[in-house]
Amino acid sequence: MTLETISENRSFAGTQGVYRHRSQSTGTDMTFGLYLPEAAQFGRVPVLWYLSGLTCTHENAMTKAAAQQWCDEAGIAIIFPDTSPRGEDVADDEAYDLGKGAGFYVNATQVPWKPNFQMWQYIVHELPELVSDNFAIDRDAMGITGHSMGGHGALTIAMTHPDRYRSVSAFAPIANPTQSDWGRKQLSAYLGDDEAAWRAHDATLLMTEHGYPGEVLIDQGSSDQFLDLLKPEALAHAMMARRQPGQFRMQPGYDHSYFFVQSFMADHVMWHAERLL
């Protein structure tokens, strides 16, 4: 598979790259960011996947999350995928929370989304293979995290594939999408009206039914303007009921912005590094 280098910049002794390729999953060109720490010059390194939220591209977290310094210190790579397929022929919606920038990390089964919106397949299968074939990435040492819609994706993917992801965390995840307007709208559009098909993409339901074999770290701002849509209490209750090992931290005064993500990025990177190295 041909990989095009868009840019590569020196950063904290490592390299922040941006790359483009033709995706078999989405049928479109896809762009992603990849930070390789200095340690990647000497062998394969563990990798942390960072899934972004609604409206984001690969660039938002790459430039705003302040992850590179901590990843270089820990000796782990971090990947910033896009949140959806893009292109003139890709289906879209006028609303910001459906269509381009809002792939929700599912494999769409409904028209007009099905031909391109195969983000689960892209994130879980295609992109890991591509980066491990082209960079010094250890696919046997992968962790996953994300923010908002990306936190939803990180939790659901990790609980569905615990054999692939040795660590998981989330920033302000959409925690109970089958019971939220940030979820019901998108899941019905992408997956249809049968709510049974939605269950595989609800972190609270997956926590109740399966949990995660390792520890889970969740950070949520107490002043988040989207608390009623995120429904963190549902996930917290499910974790307690299951007695899931981990931490659910309600951080006082923080909102939903990348200032919140920056504030706790070091904690999350080191959390993953302890479990991946």
The pLDDT score that the predictor gives to residue 117 is 98
Amino acid present at 117 = F
Residues 6+ apart with CB under 8 A from 170: 145, 146, 147, 150, 151, 152, 154, 155, 203, 216, 217, 218, 219
Closest CA to 170 of 153, 191, 192, 186: 153
Domains of the chain: 3-274 (3.40.50.1820)
Task: Classify burial at 68, counting beta carbons within 10 Å of its beta carbon; exposed 0-12, middle 13-18, buried 19 or more.
Answer: buried
Task: Give the single-character DSSP code of 123.
Answer: I
Q: What is the CA radius of gyration of the chain?
A: 17
Read off the pLDDT of residues 37-70 as tens digits, 9 standing for 90 and up. 999 999 999 999 999 999 999 999 999 999 999 9
The pLDDT score that the predictor gives to residue 185 is 98
The pLDDT score that the predictor gives to residue 238 is 98
- Which helix (H) or strand (E) is 70 found in, with range? helix 68-74
Q: Which two tokens stand for residue 259?
A: 């200032």
The pLDDT score that the predictor gives to residue 181 is 96
* Chain CA centroid to CA 153, Å: 5
The pLDDT score that the predictor gives to residue 252 is 98
The pLDDT score that the predictor gives to residue 189 is 98
Whether the CB-CB separation of 156 and 119 falls below 8 Å is answered with no
The pLDDT score that the predictor gives to residue 182 is 97
Low-confidence stretches of the chain (pLDDT beneath 70): 1
Q: How many CB atoms lie within 10 A of CB 258?
A: 19
Task: Classify burial at 266, counting beta carbons within 10 Å of its beta carbon; exposed 0-12, middle 13-18, buried 19 or more.
Answer: middle
The pLDDT score that the predictor gives to residue 14 is 98
What average pLDDT does the structure give for the chain? 98
Write the DSSP string, 243-276. Answer: T-SEEEEEETT--SSHHHHHHHHHHHHHHHHHHH
The pLDDT score that the predictor gives to residue 122 is 98
The pLDDT score that the predictor gives to residue 104 is 98
Residue for token pair 């971090």: 78
| Residues 100, 92: Cα–Cα separation, whole Å | 6
The pLDDT score that the predictor gives to residue 114 is 98
Query: Percent of the chain beyond pLDDT 70?
Result: 100
| Catalytic center residues | 148, 224, 256
Q: What are phi and psi of 214, to 5 degrees?
A: -105, -160
The pLDDT score that the predictor gives to residue 47 is 98
The pLDDT score that the predictor gives to residue 134 is 98
| Residues 83, 104: Cα–Cα separation, whole Å | 7
